[in-house]
Structure 1
Amino acid sequence: MASDEVTTARVDSWIWSVRLTKTRSTAAAACRAGHVRVNGERVKPAHALRPGDEVRLRQVGRERIVVVTRLVRKRVGAPVAVECYVDNSPPAPPREAVPVIAVRDRGAGRPTKRDRRELDQLRGRLGMGPDSDPEHP
């Protein structure tokens, strides 16, 4: 066996190394939050990965499903990262399908009180002032 050959790797480190997350701490937080599954089971950040394992990573708006083909411990470039797994993920939704909430034009300045109320309404928050209380008209 070659000295650079890796037999196991931490799941959080591997997810970061193959560029599925931007930082290792983000990968560890995803594991702790239950967003990472290996072979159908929720795992902790230190779970040992082996070649052939199926990793499911829930990210914003989509789920990544990859099968481990090669283990790496250090972050690698994108061309090498793609060789480390087989991507079985469903295609990402088009950007137009993802709703954009409360976007302001750049350079529009601070939002006015009226703008803030409209933003809060869009986000589903209730105002805290006396105007928002249904019992006091």
Structure 2
Amino acid sequence: MQFLQTIFLIISCWTATIHKKLTVVKMKRKLLIAIGLAISMPSIASSVSISINQKWSSTWREYVQYADVQSTTDEIEIHNLELNRGNCEYYKQIALPKKLKYGQTLSFMIGTKGRICNVLEASVTTNKGVEKFRFK
């Protein structure tokens, strides 16, 4: 009887060791797959950046809000700008679509004289898709 208990104990330990080794192998395999996917996926970095600024307008003789869209990639084509889901107007002084090279900026004057729009969200439509930005 003692002999059977010893064999059962040895088999249990051996099974637990094999299970731990298989778990480690599975974890390594999952890690390698995750690394491979991360390397093979295209960069999800933004192609544009946007900032909301106030600039002095000699025409209006007051500070006016501007949305400045800047290219952060070699070449991008801006198709549309939407502020606060279409609830905030901007002057379309520039004909869209407009191509930008790295570092170039398009400025859009926001709102109308005396009416300031509190921009919470901006969506920029480009030839590479739509990018959304949120502001506090």
TM-score with structure 1 length normalisation? 0.27
User: Which structure dedicates a bigger proportion of its chain to strand?
Assistant: 2
Larger Rg: 2
